[in-house]
Structure 1
């Protein structure tokens, strides 16, 4: 999928890393189930600082992400509840893939 890669970085409150992981996971499941324009989401948790989470999301355009996606009821609900387990708003940045190589399967296995 061409388009845009969206990086969303969250920091949970120190005592709520588990809750943040669970609630972000629920949000991802809702987005993937309801929003067909989303090309996939990967959640990462920092190995040395477990209060840090990053989502790697694939969208057709920045405008679609910022417009229709952000207005979805499940997004608005998450934003309303996030203050109970996140330390602040996320950092959101937009990226265009410019290179890289995908490994080809050798057909073995």
Structure 2
């Protein structure tokens, strides 16, 4: 229980930082953005995390501005999971997406299988080759 009480505020602060770190929303909305989400699972919970993420992604795919998500597992350490997400609108991602019921439910359930809050970073597509 102490871990949950420590993890939740950190996760909320991380989300707030992500939302506040965008300088110019109109510029961000003009190009697709990449979001990298790194998860660390609790020991022996990788399969449970993958199952929960798969269910979450099925709902996320229905959202506006969604382009794609690729789920990666570290072949050397299956407790490391990475989502590579592409969105048409970073402002939508940082606001409306974060408030969706399916994401909020995942965050609540994540206490049962994640070792802590995810590391989230936003990347702007500059060039495609």
Structures share a fold, TM > 0.5? yes
Residue 70 of structure 1: SS of its match in structure 2?
helix
Q: How does 1:1-109 map to 2 (within 5 A)?
A: 2-32=31-61, 34-101=62-129
Aligned-residue offset at 1:30:
1.1
Cα-Cα RMSD: 1.4
Aligned-residue offset at 1:29:
1.0
| Residues 65 and 89, structure 2, Cα contact 8 Å, conserved in 1 | no
Instruction: Considering fraction of residues, name the structure with more helix.
Output: 2
Residue 44 of structure 2: SS of its match in structure 1?
helix
Aligned-residue offset at 1:97:
1.9
Of the structure 1 ranges 1-10 and 62-71, higher mean CA displacement relative to structure 2 is found in 1-10
Residue 24 of structure 1: SS of its match in structure 2?
helix
Larger radius of gyration: 1
For residues 69 and 78 of structure 2, the distance between their equivalents in structure 1, rounded to whole angstroms, comes to 19
Of the structure 1 ranges 54-63 and 13-22, higher mean CA displacement relative to structure 2 is found in 54-63
Aligned-residue offset at 1:66:
1.1
TM norm structure 2: 0.73
Which runs of 5 or more residues in structure 2 are unaligned? Answer: 1-29
TM norm structure 1: 0.85
For residues 76 and 100 of structure 1, the distance between their equivalents in structure 2, rounded to whole angstroms, comes to 33
Provide the aligned length of Structure 1 versus Structure 2. 100
Aligned-residue offset at 1:56:
0.8
Residue 65 of structure 1: SS of its match in structure 2?
helix
